[in-house]
Amino acid sequence: MTHTHDLGAMRLAAAIRARELSPVEVTEHYLDRIERLDSRLGAFVTSTPERAREEARRAEKRILEAPDPAGLPPLLGVPVPIKDLNMVDGVRMTLGSRAYDGFTGFTDDSVVTLLKEAGSVLLGKTSTPEFGLPCYTESAVAPPARTPWDTSRSAGGSSGGAAAAVAGGLAPVAQGSDGGGSIRIPSSVCGLFGIKPTRGRISQGPIVPDLFGLSTNGPIARSVRDAALLLDVMARPMPGDLYMAPPTEGTYLEAADRPPGRLRIARSREPVVPGAEVHPDCVAAYEEASALLEELGHEVVELPPVMDAALVPIFETLWGVMATLTPVDPSQEELLQPLTRWLRAKGDATSGPELLRAHAMLQSALRSAFPVMNEFDAILHPTLAQPPVPIGYFHDQEPAENFERQKHFTPFCAVYNVSGQPAVNVPLYWNADGLPIGVMLAGRLGGEATLISLSAQLEEARPWIDRKPPIWDE
């Protein structure tokens, strides 16, 4: 028996345009699943059922009155939740923090505007850790976000609620964001395909500054084509953006249907973070992906050293300063979580010259690294160094130990936030305990289409869409 949540975004959109499914029925299906199941997943911090029903009714009216359904927006009637770091006009926004509990959005982020124009229906806001700073989603304003594959374990972060929603069948796709791995990390531990686009591909506006260019919005989905469709909708620069991504020919959805040809792919499982050890399950996923790429006819070679451990404290300097960019009334500082206060203290202690030197040192390192990395069409790594970890593994520690554990858990992701290159998580492997273990592919600047084409080829060779966690059929 096929459930509505089996269909995915593309098939839902097609069925709605063909009047085979009603947007109202689709929305009610997902709202029912959220009401029944989200207490076990912690995917949503705020649900918006009345707003969703009204948007679904408007979408249905539009479909019934359309003389040519082919001209309708690509996501008309398809539910897409928004991460609680992104502002939606008139909707509660906590940023995962008690200091913002009760705050209401006063405008739409640019990415929200584009998703609205595409016809999507807002189910609610997905959970995020405080200010999106950690790689797990445990906050003081909502229950922990849990991977549906084992609800004793974290869904990752900072887009943990978004990934839990998609993996648990509470949403067909979701918008996420990634400043140090925050799309790829939860996609790995939840068995999903997630894309961190090239720096400047998707606007951070109109409120959030993109000063360092580390963070970007992006899609989280169960299939490559669903993610490509969502990226097509999101990928529009806006006036005032500091960065501009190289142009791409055609759509990303077209790239998913285009064979990649024979690619030259480098690989590395040597973490940049000192002391980080790669778990045997993550090594197995990486080796199986390497073998599959070779089976598909690609050249796979070892990546020469391009980044070293000296970059880690430099990135930490930027991360601490970024933690200070979210305004907090001094009287509310005591409401912040220990890790947030610790990071903000490090940021506050960083002088202007120190910050500029850190940024300059990263640029210097990239000037040496890019000529090497640009020799390859894609670069393969483990996404994470460990399988999904229990709830509390990071959060129950003192801040310094918490942060150290995070660095050892995710020693591969942040490099591509520093470089601005696109990177994806591909869910090809599940371990003996039934937990998903992702691999990461990074591309050249502007190379999302190549990554999508290659990922679609991997998906066709080793389909993962029929892998579903126990909660899926409830």
Identified catalytic residue from 83, 125, 196, 346 = 83
From 182, 268, 419, 453, the catalytic residue: 182
DSSP state of 245: P
Contacts of 23 (CB under 8 A, 6+ apart): 16, 56, 57, 59, 60, 63, 76, 77, 121
Q: How far is CA 103 from CA 100, 206, 253, in A?
A: 5, 18, 37
Check the CA dihedral 280-283-289-292 and report its sign: negative
Known active-site residue 120: no
83 is catalytic: yes
Q: Is 407 a catalytic residue?
A: no
* Residues in CB range of 114: below 8 A, 6 or more apart: 233, 234, 236
Q: Which of 154, 158, 223, 453 is catalytic?
A: 158
* Residue in the block written with tokens 């126990």: 470
- How far from chain centre, in Å, is Cα 123? 18
* Gyration radius of the chain over CA positions: 21
Q: Which amino acid is at 154?
A: S
CB 143, CB 126: distance < 8 Å? no
Give the SS3 label for residue 125. Answer: strand
Question: Which residues pair with residue 265 across a beta bridge?
Answer: 300, 378
* Cα distance between residue 27 and residue 166, in whole Å: 14
Catalytic residues: 83, 158, 182
